[in-house]
Amino acid sequence: MLLNDKTVIITGASRGIGRAAALECARQGANLVIGYSGSESSQPLVDELIGEIRSLGRDATSVGAPAGDPNTGDKLVDAAVSHFGSVDVFVNNAGICPFHSFLDMPRDTYLETVNTNLNGAYFAVQAAANRMKEQGNGGAIIAVSSISALVGGAMQTHYTPTKAGLLSLMQSCAVALGPYGIRCNALLPGTIETDINKDDLADQDKRDYMIGRTPLGRLGRPEDMAGPIAFLASDMAAYVTGASLLVDGGMFVNLQ
């Protein structure tokens, strides 16, 4: 097992990529702190996930708090320490992408996206890193960035800068935290079918276009991200830091 007895915090783990990553980390021997927004509608999903993790022989607890709140990182770290005694891995995954055109982008939509995806991540990464430094055993931090850190989208002008920001944050943190043995890497998913793009991909033409751009011939599944996240979290990646791992079925390199 890659993560035996490690404590892994994953934000945005009630659904989608975060949930699949949480289950894989549990299969690999980790105990989990499940971050989510705190919304009532997600509570049953979180309870069910904790049940699944326990049935795998591992333990989990949850923290429902807005990712954009600068105090949320401290709450996640406190939960990890009080339940499991340490923080070994922090996966910053929570994110939103409310598709909208640029010229009439509502200020609130822009600000909420940047706060949720990037500003909160900064303080959460800082909280996890301080705890890891205090423990003195190193650690692994992974930010779920995106292929969208590298390319644009007309309906994602508020979103793509947050993903480029997360990639850059991991690069700078790799430099800042390397001396403490804390590795920092970015995962760049392609298009993965989850709730975040349910409406967008309901448009059959858009869906066919995205599949057509993907050499492997299908959209990604949350489970496709779980192995790469567990790998970056584990000692298999002991010399990997400041890296970005693009997991997109080949979409990015498919120019013509």
Ligand X SMILES: C[C@H](O)[C@@H]1OC(=O)[C@H](O)[C@@H]1O
Q: How many residues does the chain have?
A: 256
Among residues 109 and 135, whose Cβ is nearest to ligand NDP?
A: 109
End-to-end CA distance of the chain: 40
CB of 194 to ligand NDP, least distance (A): 3
β-pairing, 182-189 vs 139-144, is parallel
CB of 144 to ligand X, least distance (A): 9
144 binds ligand NDP (CB under 6 A): yes
User: Do 224 and 232 form a contact (C-beta atoms < 8 A)?
Assistant: no
**Which SS3 state, helix, strand or coil, does residue 255 take?**
coil
User: Which listed residue (6, 42, 159, 234) is catalytic?
Assistant: 159
In the residue annotation, 163 being an active-site residue is answered as yes
Q: Of 37, 146, 162, 234, which one interacts with ligand X (CB under 6 A)?
A: 146
Burial 64-76 (b: 16+ CB within 10 A, else e): bbbbbbeebbbbb
Site for ligand X in 5-64 (CB under 6 A): none
191 binds ligand X (CB under 6 A): yes
CB of 255 to ligand NDP, least distance (A): 20
| Burial zone of 15 (CB within 10 Å; 0-12 exposed, 13-18 middle, 19+ buried) | middle
Residue 96 has which token pair?
Answer: 């939103």
* CA–CA distance, 90 with 124 (Å, rounded to integer): 9
93 binds ligand NDP (CB under 6 A): yes
Tell me which residues are annotated as active site: 146, 159, 163
Q: Which residues bind ligand NDP (CB under 6 A)?
A: 12-18, 36-37, 39, 42, 66-68, 93-97, 116, 144, 146, 189, 191-192, 194-197
Q: Which residues bind ligand X (CB under 6 A)?
A: 97, 146-148, 163, 191, 196-197, 200
